[in-house]
Structure 1
Amino acid sequence: MATEHTLFRYDPGFIDGRLRTVWYGFLAVLLAVGGYAMWLRIDGGMATTNLTSTTPWGAWVAFYIYFVGLSAGAFLVSTLANVFELEGMHRVDRDALFAAIISMNVALLFVWADLGRMDRMYFPFLYRQFTSALSWEVHAYVAYIAVLVTELYLAMRIDLARVAERADGWRARLCGLLTLGRTDTSDEAAATDRTWLKRVGILGIPLAIFLVHGGTGVLFATAKARPYWNSGLFPIIFVISAVVSGTALVALLYVLRTRLFDGESTDRDLLGLLGKLMAGFVVVDVALTAIEALIALASLHPHEVETWNIVLFGEMSWSFWWFMVGLGWLFPLVILSKRSWRREPGPIAVAGLSIVIGIIAVRFNIVVPPQILPVMDGLPHGSYFPTAVEWLTSVGMIAVGLLMYTVGAEFLPLTPLERDH
């Protein structure tokens, strides 16, 4: 992909045709299962879930905030290249932006599934409530997606135009359409794109931190009836764990796409940098979580102490110790603690995958435990574990995201093409 010959024969995607067939077949199965489960959800309503008036938020809300975090984190990783111009990060900025767009769309799918009346998904835009944090959040999501799409267009526009000009076939025609008529590939045009890319990236930073994922944290932190959520640190923890998961996702995608699509060797210096970033962000996440726990326990507030008791030793302890602490923190830190492993694609991919899975437990531990305890004496205790419909619809929506990324990686120049004559 880095040579003039490649530019004339632009053909990104799987190197191994058999692997392509197996992967798309696997996704087809997941989509079919998820589609059937979604039909059951639509036909049977909330009766197909274990959600109740006591525990109204469950797996779908946990996955929603998880994918919002993935999106915000991946976007912030892209700013290291587009705004702060960190050396070497330009190789992953398009991957990060594309993953951020897809993650945000998957997050909104989970919001849609969680609505009691799924047909009213457009109501927040018709009936605005300016005193509602949730109403502001919905509009922030739309603005954020617009920023992401604009950034990805500016990042790829020159390469799209070069492919449209020099390559043949339907991929070249598709790339030509995606240029939106801006086909100038001169150095001046490239400089203009980079300038606007930086400006839009700067605009997106406060949007992602304060409104998108920090704002999602605010939705929980303002719930005074749930002291576990009602904390000033909550929005900050949301942002930090988002950066952890986003960095891990970008590192994982870089290794997989470089090996399976580009057929090139990975940049060891870039792997080392991504490894350091992952390790540093995990340490900060651990520290903030520990501080939050110590403040809650030292307060001796019964609701907070009992909630942390559920998380640490009760019915959610398996999620905390095995997934959040084990897969999300300890296992990747062991891998990333060795310098030589941080520069190898295998360990980086394993550490990234471990964090991506582990952060899911973080989201479940945020959403579920505080709802188990009653908000008033005399009310019943909650009890929640997702039903098969909740799990399978979640699998289907995640498969939608995987399909979107795969199709995009097959057709778009997510790897920057070298600037030749």
Structure 2
Amino acid sequence: MSSPTNSSILVHKNETEADRVVSPRVSRGGALVWYGLLVLAMVAGVVAFIIRAKEGLASTGLTTITPWGTWVAFYIYFVGMSAGAFLLSTFIHVFGMERFHKVGREALLVAIISMVLALTFILLDLGRMERFWHVLWYFNPTSVLAWEVRFYVIYILLLAAELYFSMRQDLIRASRGTGWAARVAAVCTLGSKDLSEESVKRDHRILKVLGAIGIPIAIFGVHGGTGALFAVAKARPYLNSALLPVVFIVSALVSGTALLIASYTIRKKVSGQIPDREMLKSLGGLLALFLSIDLGLEFYEFLIGAYGLEATELATLKTIFAGQFAWSFWGIQMLVGAVIPLAILAYPRTRNSPAAIAAAAIMVVIGIVAVRFHIVLPSLIVPVMEGLPEGYYLPTWVELASSLGVIAFGLFLYSLAVTGLPIDVRQEIDKGVKENE
């Protein structure tokens, strides 16, 4: 029996000029409407950005008591999306789980774009945005943030390299065509025409090495490290927990898997293609597993925090469970983001339906937004010393419009990438893998 990798190589070796990646079939009118909406949202974001740059943080709802808000919440949201999507890609390239190979490239693409958005959000949050480069130029070895930013740079470069080598063979094929996509492909391949069996094997080896290097970077440096940024805040008992980085990592797997399911299914539906039912069922099972573990870790995080009987942490938990965040915790984080998706993924009829799995994934993506806000804001609401006023935060239109613009920018990049790059694995490879498994 041939391995999936060998079957892919045989198909590559015997391909013809007609063997192309299936390009999305989206109507011109639908594409114009979609890009038009994204451009409008990005224009609103640019206007808000200009106001933010001119007026500084005075244009936001942030205060000295509540210095973190919407931008920081979205920052950790997209870092988690990136780390989770990347770790899912390692199942394919490092551990050889070929049943997920159809989303391998999309996982890497989503990971890259998510990191771009995460760093854009944290740029907006800087008091002096023009000094963003200082964190790279000056290095304090005792600073968690100093290490974290360097891990981000290495991680993004690694993601870009891995995405490139996963597409390189199809980029060479695409460079033979005409149009702007072919010209871009020709530039990306540096004029290479090598489609030999040895070339394919070499690309597979490189992917495996890059993926193996990226696993500890993603776990300990990227999202685990982002969790450490919050966990070392000793003045905030709710955050100061050694379990928090672990919660961040598991939550990343939840959000990354959910986003990948949603993006893959929506893209296939919009382009008139049929999503892979069996692959979605497997991804849905992983999502249910990760979500269950995440809920268990959260339970112990809350339990241990309450058991310590520390007044500030108890007040923070009360703010989440029965205070001003109760509606979003119980309604969005727990009901929409966990209970309903788990029910969908557990019920036999719906867990076998691609549409139902995608709906569950979308609800998880929405629920994780609430999770991130509940990490950032509640601990800042409760005063850490007697006599200090309670924190208060309500995002201004500048924060909301800029956030909408950044997210629209990410969707714009994604739309361009899936149109111009060979994100889908060729049908011939898919067929060859199934026949030789």
TM-score band w.r.t. shorter chain:
over 0.9
Matched, 1:196 2:206: yes
TM-score (norm 2): 0.92
Aligned equivalents of 1:87 and 1:149: distance in 2?
21
1:177-221 CA-to-partner distances (Å, cap 9, x unmatched) read 111344311111111100110100000000000010000000111
Aligned identity (percent) is 46
Q: Cα distance, 1:145 vs. partner?
A: 0.1
Q: Aligned residue for 2:156? A: 145
Is residue 172 from structure 1 mapped to residue 204 from structure 2 by the alignment? no
- 1:62 aligned residue: 73
Q: How does 1:312-391 map to 2 (within 5 A)?
A: 312-391=321-400
Distance change >3 Å, CA 250–CA 200, structure 1 → 2? same
Are the aligned partners of 2:83 and 2:252 in contact in 1 as well (CA < 8 Å)? yes
Q: Is it true that 1:243 corresponds to 2:250 in the alignment?
A: no
Cα deviation per residue 1:363-409 (whole Å; 9 max; x = unaligned)?
A: 00000000111222222211112111111111110111000000001
Aligned mates of 1:342, 1:110 — CA distance in 2: 35
Q: Does 1:17 align with 2:28?
A: yes
Please tell me the residue identity of whatever aligns with 2:178.
D
CA distance in 2, matches of 1:11, 1:348: 24
Aligned-partner SS, 2:98? coil
Matches within 5 A, 1:175-186: 175-186=185-196
Please give the alpha-carbon distance, in whole angstroms, between the structure 2 residues aligned to 1:270 and 1:176: 32
Out of 398, 402, 414, the position equivalent to 1:405 is 414
Equivalence map 1:198-213=2 (5 Å): 198-213=208-223
User: Is 1:273 aligned with 2:282?
Assistant: yes
**Residue pair 1:16, 1:260 contacting (<8 A) in 2 also:** no
**Partner SS, residue 116 of structure 1:** coil
Q: Which residue is 1:290 aligned to?
A: 299
Which residue in 2 is equivalent to 1:124? Answer: 135
How far off its partner does 1:16 sit?
A: 1.9
Matched residue SS, 2:130: helix
Equivalent in the alignment of 2:9 = none
Unpaired segments of 5 or more residues in structure 1? none
Answer yes or no: is the 8 Å Cα contact 1:65–1:216 preserved in 2.
Answer: yes
Question: Do the aligned partners of residues 105 and 84 (structure 1) sit closer, same or farther apart at CA in structure 2, a change above 3 Å counting?
Answer: same
- Out of 312-321 and 102-111, give the one that drifted further: 312-321
- Tell me how far apart the structure 2 counterparts of residues 6 and 118 of structure 1 sit (CA, whole Å): 49
CA shift for structure 1 position 279: 0.7
Match of 2:310 in 1: 301
Distance 2:186 2:428 in 1: 18
- Pairwise CA RMSD: 1.7
Deviation at 1:250, TM superposition (A): 0.6
TM-score normalised over the length of structure 1: 0.96
Distance in 2, matches of 1:25 and 1:168, equals 26
Residue 236 of structure 2 corresponds to which residue in structure 1?
A: 226
**C-alpha separation between the residues in 2 aligned to 1:13 and 1:122?**
39
- CA gap of 1:171–1:82, structure 2 versus 1, over 3 A, is same
Is residue 34 of structure 2 the alignment partner of residue 31 of structure 1? no
C-alpha distance in 2, partners of 1:281/1:309? 27
1:214 to 221, 224, 227: 224
Residue 419 (structure 1) shift: 4.6
Query: How many Å apart are 1:345 and its aligned residue?
Result: 2.3
More displaced 10-residue stretch of structure 1: 175-184 or 404-413: 175-184
